[in-house]
Amino acid sequence: MLSKEQLEDLLAVTDCPVLFWLLVGVIFLFLHWNFWPSSRNRLEIPVIRSSNYLPDVINRVLYLFRAPYLIHYGYRKNKNSAFRLLRWGGDLIVLPLKYVDDFKNLPADMLDARSPSFEKILTSYMVFMTNHVVAAETVKKRLNPALGRLFPRFMDELDYAFQVEFPSSDEIGGWVRVKPMDVITRIVTRATSRVMIGDDTCRNEIWIDTASSYAQNVIKAVKVLSLFPEFLRPLVANILPCTRRLRNQLAFIRDTLLVPMIHERRADERSGDPQYARPDDFLQYLMDFAEDYELNTDAARTAHDFMAIVGMATVWTTSSAITQALLDLVVLPEFLPPMRWEIRASLGRNSWKDITEGTIVSQRRLDSFLKESIRLSPPMELTFHRILKEPIVLYDGVVLPKGTRICFPSGPISRDPGVITHPDSFNCFRWCFTTPSPWNSLVNVNPTNLHFGIGQHACPGRYFAAYVMKAILGRIIYEYDFRYEVHREDRPDNVYMGEAIFPDANVTLLFRKRLGIY
């Protein structure tokens, strides 16, 4: 559902009457419907629609509002075979679990990972194109190997972030009202910025304000633009207030903050100054990777790649997952004591900013709880969105044509009783009852946990994300009591946009600092 602000964006397209724009849209839809290209080169597989009595152009509109139901319904009816979902911007072929092995080790140059993403909605008129290969490979080859060295800096900055961002009551033991999504987003932004952009900028309030709101503005723009077919989006994007705001924000981040910093760093490196020390952060890794592999080193391009990782992958998805976990835990207070005991035992005599990676890894109950929360409230109902660059023959002879948009139903699979026992119950410690094994960890990708992707194509940033989520959530669990203002037995409903799932950012919780815990 659109918020009041997004509805105003939609209706305030120009000073022209709304009826005029609706009429223009209807005319374009009629023409587009009569020349819709998606029937060409189609696979003969079941098509999942909201209604068989409505034209497919209407079913594509309804997908935006009914995607979770359609995805789960399609999976129940076609668990072991592919099915088609109708949506704007290209239909999706949802593949069954049995085909995961066909794709998990497939060369990346046979698949286009960029086109099906949010950028497909924003590209070309938002100047938002990102080189996913450079960004992902930099995380995999530069950031991940450095995590042990970077982790103490992250924990030190996280300690500062809690002091600055987490509200406190003037009364000892008093409750304070907090919107967890807002506060957690700023904590994540502050703590990760030390690792991502370095000591000189991580406490720059302009950067913190801009980076923490950037992803939210992307989501708002995508949510409104998703209502329009692809061929209308360039026209609409140029006149929507929300897309103008996002364009201005991206230009500010790029031209005022990142591009000058990139130029300054390159100038410092060329200066020959014996006191020069290469910055040890993700922005520098991104710059070095592009140069080492003779890729596009344009500063604006590097800035876009950087914001794709920091703004969306790091800040937004991590903050959403932590918020979802809190909303689960507040109605499951019986799981708090075992996790608090584990956290206290793992801390030993250390303060929070002195703990190590090993401390985080040892918190298996917290790891299990986060994995279970993500299983039931994942960021997406579908995973591994790709467009095939060439035809692919699957193990059983099925041929997927070039240009096919594929994905796997990670959401329905994680609720399938054939895959997971009692899948509809929230079993907080489901993944730590067994003998310790990497197979059960939050970051492991397997048939019970496809939310990070599959095989070698799985999200390379999941290791850093897991450290961030566990460090922040663990500290909140141990140091604070929290509850709803008005008692309730169930958690708030999630917010849906197509197959994407978000926590309700308007939910308010009461927090109180726990006393006598150290």
Q: What is the 3-state secondary structure (H, E, C) of 168-217?
A: CCCCCCCCEEECHHHHHHHHHHHHHHHHHCCCCCCCCHHHHHHHHHHHHH
In which residue are the tokens 């590209």 written? 123
CA 415 distance to own-chain centroid: 20
Find out whether 429 and 437 touch, Cβ atoms under 8 Å.
Answer: no
What is the structure's pLDDT at 40? Answer: 46
The residues spanned by each domain of the chain are 4-513
pLDDT of residue 512: 94
Backbone angles phi, psi at 306, to 5 degrees: -65, -45
Within 8 A by CB and 6+ apart from 138, the residues are 282, 285, 286, 289, 305
Please tell me the distance from the alpha carbon of residue 234 to that of residue 238, in angstroms, as a whole number: 6
Rounded CA gap, 130 and 358, in Å?
34
What are the pLDDT digits (tens) for 220-233? 887 787 777 777 77
Percentages helix, strand, coil for the chain (3-state, rounded to 5) are 55, 10, 35
136 contacts: CB under 8 Å, gap ≥ 6: 460
Compute CA distances 367 → 77, 248, 514, whole Å: 33, 39, 22
Q: Supply the pLDDT for residue 439.
A: 59
| pLDDT value, residue 16 | 46
Which residues is 500 bridged to in the sheet? 380, 497
Q: How far is CA 148 from the centre of its chain?
A: 24
Q: Which amino acid is at 131?
A: N
Q: Per the structure block, which two tokens stand in for 429?
A: 């410690």
d(Cα 514, Cα 285) in Å, to the nearest integer?
A: 40
The two beta strands, 383-388 and 111-112, are: antiparallel
CA nearest neighbour of 324 among 506, 117, 180: 180
pLDDT at residue 436 in the model: 54
**Percent residues over pLDDT 70 in the chain:** 86
> Any known ligand binding at 459?
yes
pLDDT value at residue 172: 67
- Quote the pLDDT of residue 27: 52
4-513 falls under which CATH superfamily? Cytochrome P450 (1.10.630.10)
What amino acid occupies position 105?
N
CB 436 within 8 A of CB 288: no
> CA 14 to CA 244: how far, in whole Å?
12
Residue with tokens 């980076």: 211
Determine how β-strand 176-178 pairs with β-strand 509-513: antiparallel
Q: Are strands 92-94 and 405-408 parallel, antiparallel or unpaired?
A: parallel
The pLDDT of residue 151 is 94
Quick check: 303 and 254 in contact, CB under 8 A? yes
pTM over 0.85: yes
Long-range contacts: 294-297, Cβ < 8 Å, 24+? 295/131, 295/134, 296/131, 296/134
Tens-binned pLDDT, residue by residue, of the chain (518 aa): 555 555 455 444 444 455 455 545 655 555 555 444 444 456 789 999 999 999 988 898 899 899 999 999 999 999 999 999 998 778 999 999 999 999 998 988 898 876 555 555 555 444 445 566 788 889 999 999 999 999 999 999 999 999 999 988 766 668 999 999 999 999 999 999 999 999 989 999 999 998 898 878 888 887 787 777 777 777 777 777 878 888 888 888 899 999 999 999 999 999 988 888 999 999 999 999 988 877 778 898 899 889 888 887 889 999 999 999 999 999 999 999 999 999 999 987 777 877 888 899 999 999 999 999 999 999 999 999 999 999 999 999 999 999 999 999 999 999 999 999 999 999 999 998 765 555 589 999 988 899 999 999 999 999 999 999 999 999 999 999 999 988 888 999 999 988 999 999 999 999 999 987 87
Closest CA to 427 of 371, 472, 467: 371
Q: Tell me, what's the pLDDT at 32?
A: 54
Q: What is the pLDDT of residue 37?
A: 47
